[in-house]
Structure 1
Amino acid sequence: MCLIEFGQFSHETALRRRKFAYAIRMVTTQLRTHSASFTRTLACTCAISFVLVAASCAPTAASATSAVATPTTTPSSAAAGSLASPAVCPVPRAPTSVSSADRGTQPYDRDVWQTLLYHHAKIRRTVTMIDNGVSAVTESDDPAVATLIKDHALAMRDRMVEGRQVRVWDPVFKELFARHTHVKLAVELTEKGVRIVETGDDAETVRLLRSHASGVSDFVRVGSAAAQRETPYIND
């Protein structure tokens, strides 16, 4: 049955091609007396004919669909939360599943971070300067975003403890991670995010912690545009 249909399709295509070729010959014969516009008209005629022939050779939409099955994944609203699909990240399969990379790896942490940047307008953050450091509360009313905030905070705590840098091109981040043994971090999970207390045991570490906290607040306020800039140093 398939061979018969394919033969009929090929025969119809051949007939269409012959008809188009005949039409071109007729048009060009009539246009030879109009030499001034002959070349332009012939080019347009050939271009139109090429498009029509290509269309006649293409399989129908039903045939194309049956020939190549394109898998699609539509997560349920419960799985995806209220996160839209960012250009730089796949659609979440679950609130924290925004990456195909293994948890704890640089690609995974980057994907979570970029997703948070994309949804920065859903995040609120307050920073308080304390003795020897800062206290910051970062939260969201969106449960999916709140879960990502917690995921990111715990991942960054582990990275700081182990000295595994991120944003190595950013002087504030680079210097702060280089001094990770001088940093103390306490992460408390709240219902809608995290409360973090960061302290340093020397003046330079404290300055870097406060600069970092100010920079993160810029990320929350502005989004990706702020994340592409070096973090400014602050002196108090």
Structure 2
Amino acid sequence: MRHGRDAQTIHQLFTYHDQIYRTVEEIPGGIRAVTESDNPEVAALIQSHVSQMYDRIAARQSIPMMGMSSTLSTMAQSENQYERQLRLTSKGIEVIETSDHPEMVAVIREHAQEVTQFAEQGMPAMMNGRMR
């Protein structure tokens, strides 16, 4: 049941992608990303989604719609190779992901680009499947 609820949250975020803004900064060993919305309901969806995905990665649970990302599988399977920090903001969430492994840093940065495309394009980005 939770898997379906998580997938529903993802679909809602795609629907409201035009109300989401995102900045990604490359930092030593990874990224700092801030994803927010001026719409409180969309901000709550962002916060919920990121928290749910981090919980799933930590618990080694399946992730809904994993096939839409070329990096998510690697991130989920390599959860002990990178640090994840999240901080709720008043309009969304700040995420910092870093690693000491150069290959993992590349995956983290590529995933950040994928998520940015999802936020910018919405459903069309999802329909493209594995993006490169």
Choose between structure 1 and 2 for higher RCO, CA contacts under 8 A separated by at least 6 residues.
Answer: 2
Distance 2:100 2:60 in 1: 16
Q: Deviations over 1:100-126 (max 9, x none)?
A: x4xxx2111110011010000000000
1:184 aligns with 2:92: no
Would you say the 8 A contact 1:165–1:174 is kept in 2?
A: no
Q: Specify the alignment match of 1:231 in structure 2.
A: 131
- 2:71 maps to amino acid: V
TM-score by length of 1: 0.52
Structure 1 runs not aligned, ≥5 long: 1-100
Q: Deviations over 1:118-149 (max 9, x none)?
A: 00000000000011110000000001101111
Q: Specify the alignment match of 1:210 in structure 2.
A: 109
1:163 Cα deviation (Å)?
2.7
Q: Specify the alignment match of 1:110 in structure 2.
A: 7
Q: Deviations over 1:86-112 (max 9, x none)?
A: xxxxxxxxxxxxxxx4xxx21111100
Identity %: 31
Q: Deviations over 1:42-68 (max 9, x none)?
A: xxxxxxxxxxxxxxxxxxxxxxxxxxx
1:183 Cα deviation (Å)?
1.9
1:171 Cα deviation (Å)?
3.6
Which has the higher Rg, Structure 1 or Structure 2?
1
How big is the alpha-carbon RMSD for the aligned residues of Structure 1 and Structure 2? 1.3
TM-score by length of 2: 0.91
1:160 Cα deviation (Å)?
2.1
Q: Specify the alignment match of 2:19 in structure 1.
A: 122
Between stretches 110-119 and 168-177, larger displacement belongs to: 168-177
After superposition, the Cα gap between the structure-2 partners of 1:132 and 1:126, relative to the gap in structure 1 and judged at 3 Å, is same
Structure 2 runs not aligned, ≥5 long: none
- 1:230 maps to amino acid: R
Would you say the 8 A contact 1:212–1:231 is kept in 2?
A: no
1:231 Cα deviation (Å)?
2.9
The structure richer in strand per residue is: 2
Distance 1:231 1:203 in 2: 21
